[in-house]
């Protein structure tokens, strides 16, 4: 189970999370030793330089894992089947320099994007299962109610892609298990709690993570289709995202402690 936050550069984290005397250039080094994963957001807005991936690899522990948000130019388009060149450029930009620290790729879609079975399958066919012998994992963050259908779950299972579990948010919750791993983003931290969530809420998410890792879907999460015929252990990537962002590191650290 990997628990983390989105990004590592955020001024209000200085003091509550980062020591006041820590230089900004060492923030990733520090954060990667408090957490077990980080979701990189900058890759959503534009290609990063190979030197950046090499630097991120060098600054983090051997067992640390990054997830990456895929470029919006691949997902924010009317015809998804036309995203092939953008996807190829993304993977050729230096992503593989993260080596064993490369975790899942999060393909986030706009809240206005509706489920079109044929076009969505055409998109899934463009996602490489591996490159240069390195296996790749893909997660689909869909945000329109039309995706809450067994047909979408069947497609995700066919292509072994995870459906991002949106927790504590206004987005549709789809907790169906569709891949050998689970990708969860919980978005309900509050300024009213020192650790972002109440103890009860953190206990609940820790227990959900345990059940998901064991291959079962917690009864209090919403699904769209029948569960897999056979349950099996799964890796879990859980990120504390959005909400009251100042508290996200504290919530993630407390979840790690509980697990």
Read off the pLDDT of each residue in 15-31 and give the average, rounded to a whole number.
97
Q: Which residue, among 55, 66, 62, 4, has the nearest Cα to 34 in the 3D structure?
A: 4
Give the residue-averaged pLDDT of 235-259: 98
230 confidence band (pLDDT: 50, 70, 90): confident
CATH of the domain at 102: 3.20.20.410
Give the range of the structural domain holding residue 60, as residue numbers without chain letter: 2-258
Rounded to 5°, the CA angle 21-25-31 comes to 75
Sequence-distant (≥ 6) Cβ neighbours of residue 192 within 8 angstroms? none
- SS3 (DSSP) at 134: strand
* pLDDT exceeds 90 at position 229: no
Mean pLDDT of all residues in 93-104: 98
As beta bridge partners, residue 67 has: 39
- The closest of 194, 182, 180 to 238, measured between CA atoms, is 182
CB 183 within 8 A of CB 107: no
The total number of structural domains in the chain stands at 1
Percent of the chain scoring above 90 in pLDDT: 98
Q: What is the pLDDT of residues 52-80, one digit of tens each?
A: 999 999 999 999 999 999 999 999 999 99
Q: What percent of the chain has pLDDT over 70?
A: 100
Averaged pLDDT of the chain:
97
What is the token pair recorded at 44? Answer: 């959503």
pLDDT score recorded for residue 231: 84
Query: Tokens representing 170?
Result: 């206004």
State how far the alpha carbon of 128 is from the alpha carbons of 36, 50, 99, 154, 160, in Å.
25, 20, 16, 19, 11
Burial of residue 20, with CB atoms counted within 10 A of its CB: 0-12 exposed, 13-18 middle, 19 or more buried: exposed
Mean pLDDT of 40-48: 97
* pLDDT given for residue 48 in this prediction: 97
Which range has the worst mean pLDDT, 36-40, 60-64, 227-231? 227-231
Write the pLDDT tens digit of every residue in 121-132.
999 999 999 999
Confidence grade of residue 7 (pLDDT, cut at 50, 70, 90) = very high
Answer whether residue 32 shows pLDDT above 90.
Answer: yes
What does pTM read for this prediction? Answer: 0.97
What the block records as the tokens of 63 is 């067992």
Residue 7 CB partners (closer than 8 Å, separation 6+)? 38, 39, 40, 41, 42
**Residue 124 token pair:** 């899934």
The answer on pLDDT for 13 being more than 90 is yes
**pLDDT at residue 126, as a whole number:** 98
pLDDT in tens, 165-216: 999 999 999 999 999 999 999 999 999 999 999 999 999 999 999 999 999 9
């Amino acid at each position: 189970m990997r628990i983390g936050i989105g990004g590592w550069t955020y001024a209000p984290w200085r003091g509550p999370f980062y020591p006041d005397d820590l230089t900004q250039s060492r923030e990733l080094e520090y954060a990667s030793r408090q957490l077990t994963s980080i979701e990189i957001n900058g890759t959503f807005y534009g290609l990063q330089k190979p030197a950046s991936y090499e630097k991120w690899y060098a600054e983090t522990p051997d067992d640390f894992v990054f997830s990456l948000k895929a470029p919006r130019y691949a997902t924010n388009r009317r015809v998804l089947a036309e995203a092939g060149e953008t996807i190829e450029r993304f993977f050729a930009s230096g992503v593989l320099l993260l080596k064993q620290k490369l975790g899942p790729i999060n393909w986030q879609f706009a809240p206005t994007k509706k489920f079109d079975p044929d076009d969505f399958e055409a998109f899934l066919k463009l996602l490489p299962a591996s490159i240069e012998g390195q296996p790749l994992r893909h997660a689909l963050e869909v945000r329109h109610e039309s995706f809450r259908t067994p047909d979408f779950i069947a497609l995700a299972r066919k292509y072994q892609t995870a459906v991002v579990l949106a927790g504590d948010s206004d987005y549709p919750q789809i907790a169906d298990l569709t891949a050998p791993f689970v990708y969860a983003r919980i978005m309900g931290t509050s300024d009213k709690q020192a650790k972002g969530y109440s103890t009860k809420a953190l206990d609940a998410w820790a227990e959900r993570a345990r059940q998901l890792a064991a291959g079962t879907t917690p009864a209090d999460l919403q699904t769209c289709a029948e569960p897999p015929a056979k349950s099996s252990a799964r890796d879990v990537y859980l990120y504390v995202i959005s909400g009251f962002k100042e508290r996200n590191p504290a919530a993630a650290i407390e979840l790690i402690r509980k697990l």
